[in-house]
Structure 1
Amino acid sequence: MADLVFCEPTELYNILNQASKLSRLTEPNYLCLLDVRPKREYDEGHLITALRVKKKKNQYLIPESVDLECVKYCVVYDSNTNNLDLHMRDICLKEDDEDGDADGEHQKCSHIQEFLPGPAVEFGQFLTDFTRQPVNVLKGGYEFFSGMYHFLRTQKIIWMPQELDEIQPYPIEIIPGRVFLGDFRQANDPKIHKDLKIKAHVNISMESTPFFVDDPDRLLHVQIEDVPEAALLPYFRRICHFMEIHLYLGSIILVFSTRGISRSSAALVAFLMHNKEATLKRSWAHVKKCKANMRPNRGLVTQLSEWEKTILGDYITDISEPIY
């Protein structure tokens, strides 16, 4: 039996936006996102690619198109579940009236209170018998998630393979609501800037974007090539200082490079080491948890090790062993 765990909204956001050349939502066994709200609410709006869970004779039905044993992520959500514990519901018990009439017209209702799991928890517990990976219950449910990421709502029910291929992922969220990691395409997309409310750029590529041109207060452009011998270490302190100022001001920052895999990932690892006074290994693990295909080149790994010594006074992470 698999475990039942909570999934924070930022975790689901990042799951939905993982990509290589295409969105990972194109992979049939990557994500099973299940909506246990009533049909009316589902039809009004649901999360992208979510399947509605149906009931028959008060029993949940698993969608036929899903092979739960092979799914990497199984996420269930209802309207607003906030914990995995039981919560109180008001139950109406219908009773016959004094004449014994049970046709429904002369029944009276007495109310009792009973502790029951929420719909997402109830269905999630049911699913743990069928999955190998943990079943995730979305914390805050649809209401909270859609309030944070309204642009991931849809009324679309059936997705053709070509439509999944055309999905354009959003930047990955490294610090919830504050710092995002993206690529050059995302950095040039006005819709992404509007949806995420991006107010500052850290551009670690040779290319330029049309945003924040001639505004050094909101644009830090570090022009280095994507090669192992490129020197990013001399810029780490400046990057950290720029980002800390914008976090203090409440700005939302997009850090990006051409593909968003090597140079920008290294910059964010360096920032977390500085900001949290954390080891290279711990900071790396956080960025990799958010963006699964992050992979700074070997030259940048060596420079991050030097940065660790600068920040913490010693080489703590053993980079002779793979930390990927």
Structure 2
Amino acid sequence: MARSQDGCTDSSTFWPVAVKKAANPECLPSKTMGIALSRSDKCRIVSSTGLRSSAPGENSASCSEMNGIVKPSRNDIIQGSQTNNEEELLVPALPEKADIERGYVTPQQVYNLLNAEAGEPALHDPYYMLILDCRSADRYKQSHLVTARASVTVIHPDLGCLISCVQLQEFSIILLYAEEGHSPVGSQEARADNPTLQHCFFQLSALGMDPVILLGGYSAFHSLYPFLCTPRMVLLESERRLLTIYPSEILEGALYQGSASQAQDYRIIKNLHITHVVNATAEISDAFPNVLRYLRLRLSDDAQQDLRQALPEASRFIAAALRGSPGSPGGRVLVHCSLGRSRSSVLTLGFLMEQRRWSLLHAFRWLKERRTCAAPNAGFLRQLSEYEEQLFGRRLTSLDDIRL
């Protein structure tokens, strides 16, 4: 099982992404990524003088019970974007779920796994993730996910495993993909569409592994993240250290969180189609002021830093950027500080709390599942707890439940 924030398993909130069966969950590296399973609920605004029910279709999220990871629409992302005033309180909502077949991971999850950081980029570790391309050799040579290997070089379709079981157990994550793929693993449709992938999946399972399959295959991933596909074979640690690590994708195709160095890399800005940037640093200047729109907040990573103005200001800026204007589509926002861990995290959490109407705990879990290195300092967490009370009229989260 994937770990909860305190290192213990929590089947009500997370399910495994792809870890070997023989692994002890307590010893798994933090780079494995869980998947949110919280229920959806309705969003409402409540007057401080009494409750007001939502009108049909007003600020309400779907309540269908579904499994897997959330894929919010742009309307979901910016729902409730109106600014709170002193007479309004928010009614908390819960993250909605999308229907994802167990054993599959979405392209967004794979993107965040490839760009995960835990002290340093996880992808620099050759035993972090084994990606097996189960397409033809010609398709692999044309282009494949970065660091992927041709499955025939690892799992021979007739002769069996060409890499020892001991070596396989070194990997934290084993990911398989074909050209496309949506059918439930093991189904007749899946066996007919992707026989090589199905053979690898069950062969690895028989060896005690827990591989997972990329939903939609290479074509789905390439359509969203072509810059993470390459014709080059990248296997050695020295080669991996030359790879570009991208900001974490917090809301798909909308909100990203990362470091100052990423915010200063124009190739990253261009590839992610970033239009707006929240610069939470006091020491680092805006990199592309003539191209992008910036909000500069000049915060210090100090537990005594006052966030009372910064939280609503950042939330309004992000919401307006994602919403766009009449005749202009919504943009994409990068929130950054120096390392992308503390100051940027507190602003992202504040946005999720106010604009998505999630409690601090739900927002925190959502963020950590997509950016494992997120770690707002203790003073920031206390102020987020106060902000939660300001938004909802009461504190919904015990800080004892927040595990960095």
Note whether the superposition's TM-score is higher than 0.5: yes
Q: How far off is 1:71 after superposition?
A: 2.0
Q: How does 1:143-162 map to 2 (within 5 A)?
A: 143-162=219-238
Q: In the alignment, which residue of structure 1 is the partner of 2:239?
A: 163
Q: What per-residue deviation string (whole Å, max 9, x for no partner) do you get for residues 42-97 of structure 1?
A: 011111100111164646545459823232211110100113252549xxxxxxxx
Work out the CA distance in 1 between the residues paired with 2:164 and 2:105. Answer: 24
Q: In the alignment, which residue of structure 1 is the partner of 2:202?
A: 125
- SS of 1:75's equivalent in the other structure is strand
Q: How far off is 1:116 after superposition?
A: 6.9
Residues 281 and 323 of structure 1 are in contact (CA less than 8 Å); yes or no, is this contact kept in structure 2?
no
Q: Select 1:68's aligned residue among 168, 172, 192.
A: 168
Q: How far off is 1:126 after superposition?
A: 2.6
Work out the CA distance in 2 between the residues paired with 1:7 and 1:311. Answer: 34
- Give the paired residue count: 297
Q: In the alignment, which residue of structure 2 is the partner of 1:192?
A: 268
Work out the CA distance in 2 between the residues paired with 1:169 and 1:187. Answer: 11
Work out the CA distance in 1 between the residues paired with 2:276 and 2:139. Answer: 36
Q: In the alignment, which residue of structure 1 is the partner of 2:151?
A: 53
Q: Select 2:355's aligned residue among 264, 275, 285.
A: 275
Query: Residues 286 and 313 from structure 1, CA distance in 2 versus in 1: closer, same or farther, beyond 3 angstroms?
Result: same
Query: Residues 131 and 261 from structure 1, CA distance in 2 versus in 1: closer, same or farther, beyond 3 angstroms?
Result: farther
Residues 257 and 263 of structure 1 are in contact (CA less than 8 Å); yes or no, is this contact kept in structure 2?
yes
Work out the CA distance in 1 between the residues paired with 2:149 and 2:387. Answer: 46
Work out the CA distance in 1 between the residues paired with 2:290 and 2:156. Answer: 58
Work out the CA distance in 1 between the residues paired with 2:273 and 2:123. Answer: 24
1:223 aligns with 2:308: no
Work out the CA distance in 2 between the residues paired with 1:252 and 1:297. Answer: 26
Q: How does 1:166-315 map to 2 (within 5 A)?
A: 166-206=242-282, 207-212=284-289, 218-249=293-324, 250-315=330-395
The structure with the larger Rg is 1
Q: Which amino acid aligns with 2:395?
A: Y
Residues 213 and 219 of structure 1 are in contact (CA less than 8 Å); yes or no, is this contact kept in structure 2?
no
Query: Residues 247 and 296 from structure 1, CA distance in 2 versus in 1: closer, same or farther, beyond 3 angstroms?
Result: same
Work out the CA distance in 2 between the residues paired with 1:280 and 1:117. Answer: 42
Query: Residues 70 and 212 from structure 1, CA distance in 2 versus in 1: closer, same or farther, beyond 3 angstroms?
Result: same
Work out the CA distance in 2 between the residues paired with 1:124 and 1:46. Answer: 19
Q: In the alignment, which residue of structure 2 is the partner of 1:36?
A: 134
The TM-score, its normalising length taken from structure 1, stands at: 0.84
Work out the CA distance in 2 between the residues paired with 1:22 and 1:88. Answer: 40
Moved more, 230-239 or 154-163: 154-163
Residues 157 and 199 of structure 2 are in contact (CA less than 8 Å); yes or no, is this contact kept in structure 1?
no
- SS of 2:397's equivalent in the other structure is coil
Q: How far off is 1:205 after superposition?
A: 0.6
1:25 aligns with 2:101: no
Q: Which amino acid aligns with 2:129?
A: L
Work out the CA distance in 1 between the residues paired with 2:236 and 2:193. Answer: 38
Q: Which amino acid aligns with 1:243?
A: I
Q: Which amino acid aligns with 1:76?
A: L
Q: How far off is 1:185 after superposition?
A: 0.3
- SS of 1:265's equivalent in the other structure is helix
Work out the CA distance in 2 between the residues paired with 1:297 and 1:48. Answer: 34
- SS of 2:317's equivalent in the other structure is helix
Q: How far off is 1:321 after superposition?
A: 4.5
Work out the CA distance in 2 between the residues paired with 1:13 and 1:169. Answer: 10
Q: Which amino acid aligns with 1:309?
A: E
Percent of residue pairs bearing the same amino acid type: 26
Work out the CA distance in 1 between the residues paired with 2:261 and 2:165. Answer: 33
Q: How far off is 1:245 after superposition?
A: 1.0
- SS of 2:351's equivalent in the other structure is helix
Work out the CA distance in 2 between the residues paired with 1:213 and 1:57. Answer: 54
Work out the CA distance in 1 between the residues paired with 2:111 and 2:253. Answer: 11
Structure 2 unaligned spans of 5+:
1-19, 22-100, 325-329
Q: How far off is 1:219 after superposition?
A: 1.1
Q: What per-residue deviation string (whole Å, max 9, x for no partner) do you get for residues 97-133 of structure 1?
A: xxxxxxxxxxxxxxxxx9676543442233223345x
Residues 180 and 255 of structure 1 are in contact (CA less than 8 Å); yes or no, is this contact kept in structure 2?
yes
Residues 273 and 279 of structure 1 are in contact (CA less than 8 Å); yes or no, is this contact kept in structure 2?
yes
Query: Residues 284 and 213 from structure 1, CA distance in 2 versus in 1: closer, same or farther, beyond 3 angstroms?
Result: same
